[in-house]
């Protein structure tokens, strides 16, 4: 079970509120109540201290190399993207938590989408992004999250080191700089 040291947590940078470092205009930084709900997804949020693939969905949503190439080229969108994407955050305890993006958020009457704040309940987090598991044993990670994704390079490097420690059974690939 991987729990970060205090030194590792410091290396992640400060905890941040949702949208605190986002470049979006203020009118786009509104968190709907549906995106603060954690309870409805509690049994589907993967705590990385449990190692391995998330338990939900029951069969892991693996990405193909072709899908990863589309992702890097910014041409993988919509349902196809959501079915292979795991949203992740490093919470206030420094634990990586993941939620499969393919889950419908029935409280969200507009998009039916889960957001990074569904993992935190709208609380502060160190970082957030997307993760994609591939069948060949690779885990592709980015920091694509309007709520928790912006970071200094040295903080991101610390996050990637932590991912490699926690997900040691995978070859963790940083795709932040490619997207």
Nearest of 88, 115, 96, 149 to residue 31 by alpha carbon: 115
Asked if residue 106 has pLDDT above 90, the reply is: yes
Beta carbons of 114 and 130 less than 8 angstroms apart: no
pLDDT digits (tens, 9 = 90+) for 8-57: 999 999 999 999 999 889 999 999 999 999 999 999 999 988 767 788 88
pTM given for the model? 0.93
Banded pLDDT at 177 (limits 50, 70, 90)? low
Tell me the pLDDT of the chain averaged across its residues. Answer: 90
Query: Residue 77 has what pLDDT?
Result: 78
Q: Per the structure block, which two tokens stand in for 19?
A: 């949208």
Query: Residue 154 has what pLDDT?
Result: 94
Which sequence spans correspond to the domains of the chain?
6-17+31-178
Query: Residue 5 has what pLDDT?
Result: 92
How many angstroms separate the CA atoms of 97 and 48, rounded? Answer: 6
Long-range contacts made by residues 4-9, C-beta under 8 angstroms, separation at least 24?
A: 4/94, 4/95, 4/162, 8/94, 8/158, 8/162, 9/94, 9/126
């Amino acid at each position: 079970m991987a729990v970060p040291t205090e030194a590792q947590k410091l290396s992640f940078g400060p905890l941040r509120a949702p949208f605190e470092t986002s470049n979006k205009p203020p009118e786009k930084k509104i968190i709907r109540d549906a995106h603060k709900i954690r309870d409805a997804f509690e049994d589907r949020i993967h705590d990385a201290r449990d190692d391995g693939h998330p338990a939900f969905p029951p069969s892991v949503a693996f990405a193909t190399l072709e899908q990863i190439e589309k992702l890097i080229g910014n041409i993988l969108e919509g349902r196809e993207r959501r079915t292979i994407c795991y949203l992740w955050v490093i919470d206030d305890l420094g634990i990586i938590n993941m939620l499969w993006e393919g889950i419908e958020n029935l409280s969200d009457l507009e998009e039916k989408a889960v957001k990074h704040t569904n993992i935190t309940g709208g609380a502060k987090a160190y970082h957030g992004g997307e993760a994609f598991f591939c069948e060949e044993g690779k885990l592709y990670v980015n920091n694509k999250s309007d709520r928790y994704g912006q970071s200094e390079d040295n903080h991101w490097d610390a996050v990637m080191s932590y991912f490699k420690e926690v997900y040691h059974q995978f070859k963790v690939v940083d795709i932040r700089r490619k997207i």
